Amino acid sequence: MPAYWIARSTVSDTDGYGKYAPRARDAIKAHGGKFLVRGGALKVLEGSDRPRAVLVEFPSLEAAEACYNSAEYQEALNYAKGAAERDVCIVEGI
């Protein structure tokens, strides 16, 4: 069953986040992730406003969680810390 990684971000340091993004992309792809949304126009209808959204499809909940916990992604995440405020969740598909 597929799972979806949903991330919404407010970027405050574009240089730092720019170092995160390619490393995160490589880790995500290495774990079978497929980007469905990466940036683009966003209209918040309810809740907090975070102007950047990313949606990644993984083959399973386990694959999505393994990616997040992987050494490669955690190394990438070091660049995002302090460069953006983020909300990230994984949800199982149907």
Would the pTM count as exceeding 0.95? no
Does residue 50 contact residue 9 with C-beta atoms inside 8 Å?
A: yes
Name the residue ranges covered by the structural domains of the chain.
3-92
Q: Which fold has domain 3-92?
A: Alpha-Beta Plaits (3.30.70)
Residue 67 structure tokens: 């990616």
Q: Which helix (H) or strand (E) holds 28?
A: helix 14-30
Give the pLDDT of residue 44: 87
Which positions ≥6 away from 81 have C-beta within 8 Å? none
Tens of pLDDT, residue by residue over 8-60, are: 999 999 999 999 999 999 999 999 999 999 988 888 899 888 999 999 999 99
